[in-house]
Amino acid sequence: MSGTTVHTLENQQLLEQVERESAAAARQLAETAHLRKGQLVVIGCSTSEVVGHQVGSWSTPEVADAIFRGLDSVFGPMGVYMAAQCCEHLNRALIVEYEAVPGG
């Protein structure tokens, strides 16, 4: 990733907060959109911005993992698939589980 620095975030409280808020957002979206098993939700966010930095300037795998855990705790049991939107370095491609692809 040209120009991107990956940082380690060791603030466990922030990671727990991110996970809780991600789960809360997933519950709200699932309820509002009446999500059903087999549907797909596109997830796109900047871990840099989540921790208060400019987009693309402070990438943190720990924050990405916390976001995923929070979302998956809601969407997983529902059978709702997540598609992760990649950054501009990867042309904003969508990454999905094989099972989410029709005919896959």
Residue type, 38: G
**High-pLDDT (> 90) share of the chain, %:** 49
Query: Cβ(87)–Cβ(47) under 8 Å?
Result: no
- Is the CATH code 2.60.40.650 the one for domain 12-100? no
Residue 104 has pLDDT above 80, yes or no: no
pLDDT, averaged across the chain = 86
Residue 1 pLDDT grade (very low, low, confident, very high; cuts 50, 70, 90): very low
Render pLDDT for 16-42 as a digit per residue (tens, 0 to 9).
Answer: 999 999 999 999 999 999 999 999 999
Alpha-carbon gap, residue 96 to 42, rounded angstroms = 9
What does the domain layout of the chain look like in residue ranges?
Answer: 12-100
pTM assigned to the model? 0.83
Residue 83 has pLDDT above 80, yes or no: yes
